[in-house]
A and B are shown apart, each in its own frame.
Chain A
Amino acid sequence: MTDRKPVYLMTPALAWLTAFMVVPCLLILALAFFRRGIYGGIVYEFTLSNIALVFDPLYARIFLKSAGIAGLAATIAVVIGYAAAYAIASMPRKRQPILLFFAVLPFWSNYLVRTYAWIVLLNREGLIVSLARAVGFDGDLPQMLYTETAVVIGLVYNYLPFVILACYAPLSRLNPEIHEASRDLGASEWTTFRRVTLPMTVPGIATGFVFVFVLSIGNFVTPALLGGGQFQMIGNLIYDQFLTANDWPFGAALSMFLIAIMMGLLTLQTFASEKASGQQRAEVSDD
């Protein structure tokens, strides 16, 4: 086929993406520089005040808080996810696909439902409280639902399967001979892990971390359901600007900031994995 044909094939989809993604996103970008009318609405007058407002201590604190929660969730998810992926990769080759399948399966069930499951477990008349009562615990149990801890648990739970998948990919590609060589040269299991396995699987860890962080920091469902509106995260803040406070320009500025954070992290992650794969190539060619 000639080089011109593909254009016709791509046109419908690219037109769709342009009309319903690129243009709306550019619109949001533009909106961030307009003023909000007194009664909501938009006044078409250039201003930087929305951008400035994002850095206002009041909102900067929400950003930092969201980043803290997202960072904590991402760290926990990576630790559990890496351990699980490592365990799967150390099982017999034949069993690995099925283990991986069941590790990822929950990821494909409804997000709201998975979050709801934790409400059932954590609420005041929930399963955990009932179990504690059943084994004879009479004391006061701390509030579990509608806390930051509940939000972090929900985020880790929802995104863990992806981290397992991301970490498993580089772990399963590791050449077992490198591991053997390290052991033959007298390195302990732990040293081998720390000096050989871990550095070679950094791209998977980075992918997992960035993914959980990005999805968590912009999340609005989990804080709304498990945080019970006790505190705000960026996602909820954006939601409010559009659906309750009616300050679309500020909401647009917040979204742009969110996108900026996300792009920054993705660039870092690409950089990290390129560096890691470059290193591996260099090591192989040194042999």
Chain B
Amino acid sequence: MTNRSSLRFMLLILSATFAFLYIPISVLFALSFNASGLPTAWTGFSTHWYGELIANSDIIGAALNTLIVAIVSTLAATLLGTLLAIGVEIRRRKGRVLETVIFAPMIIPDIVLAIALLSFFSMLDFRMGLHTIIISHTVFNLAFVCAVVRARLKSFDWSIVEASTDLGATPPITLRRVILPVLTPAVVAGALLAFTLSIDEFIIAYFTAGSGRDSITLPMQIFSMIRFGVTPEINALAVLVMTLSVVALAISQRLNRGRLPGQ
């Protein structure tokens, strides 16, 4: 192969891959603005279906539930995950069991964690609802926050901690005034990642929500709507949900890559 034709071949592969990845999403995007709402005919641009969404109290309720779950579990996970990351990285000995426990929530199949928590809560006669979803989401969210913060700590210069101690700062002051400011971008990036994961999470929420209608989250609502069939409303909802998580993640990525002042 000459260099020219191999470059052309690479561009072909790239175009095909991006077409495969983006055509289905773009179709949803276009359909959500189609007045007829059907894929069979374009009858003009309209935001009608977005209006329908806002008027649908089930969807608004589910969206609020999702926000509550995402915000509370993100806050809890950010606190727990950041402290965990600092604790693990300060320690010089690395334990295999410890690493496994921290890593497990990220790789354990959703369905397994979901049924494990369902069995756990019901055997304890724990009433399930939004609070059990929050507890469950915090499990995997804290692992992801911890991973993001640890990645940043790998390049952390621990001698500034020693300097701070030498200058008479107590460990809590060192943590608050030296370690945390350096970590802030990574912590925020981790929190946004957790927020995105929580907003999109379906299976664990589905199993730990209990039976009440008032603890239905947006993904649960979307799942039951999809099972009923294709409706123009889902297209609009899908576009909104997709946009929200992509925006949160784009910000997270940006923060994570931004270098620290003075580094």
Contacts and interface: CB of A to CB of B under 8 A. Distances in A.
Nearest to B193: A108
Interface in B191-222: 196, 199-200, 202-203, 207, 219, 222
A242 B116 contact: no
A189 interface: yes
A214 B109 contact: yes
A220 interface: yes
B180 to A, nearest CB: 12
B90 A1 contact: yes
Contact of B135 (A20, A164, A224): A20
A143 interface: no
Interface in A103-127: 103, 105-106, 108-121, 123, 125-127
Contacts of A87: 10-11, 13-14, 17
A110 B200 contact: yes
Interface string A4-37: 0111111011101110111111011001000000
SS class of chain B's interface: helix, strand, loop or mixed?
A: helix
A248 B119 contact: yes
B91 interface: yes
Contacts of B80: 12-13, 16
Given A1-B174, A116-B222, A238-B115, A17 B120 contact: no
Interface stretch (A47-55, A195-203, A255-263, A273-281): A255-263
Contacts of B90: 1, 5-6, 9
A119 B246 contact: no
A212 interface: no
Contact of A28 (B6, B116, B142): B116
- A interface, over-half SS: helix
A220 B203 contact: yes
Given A130-B39, A189-B1, A252-B115, A262 B107 contact: yes
Nearest to A235: B111
A164 B20 CA distance: 13
B112 A259 contact: yes
A149 interface: no
A169 to B, nearest CB: 14
B105 A109 contact: no
B226 A112 contact: yes
Contacts of A7: 87
A119 B230 contact: yes
12 contacts: A5-B90, A9-B84, A10-B88, A14-B98, A23-B120, A25-B108, A91-B14, A110-B241, A119-B226, A126-B39, A221-B203, A235-B109
Given A13-B142, A99-B14, 16 more contacts: A6-B90, A12-B84, A17-B139, A20-B139, A21-B108, A80-B20, A84-B14, A87-B10, A106-B21, A109-B25, A119-B230, A125-B38, A190-B1, A225-B226, A238-B112, A259-B112
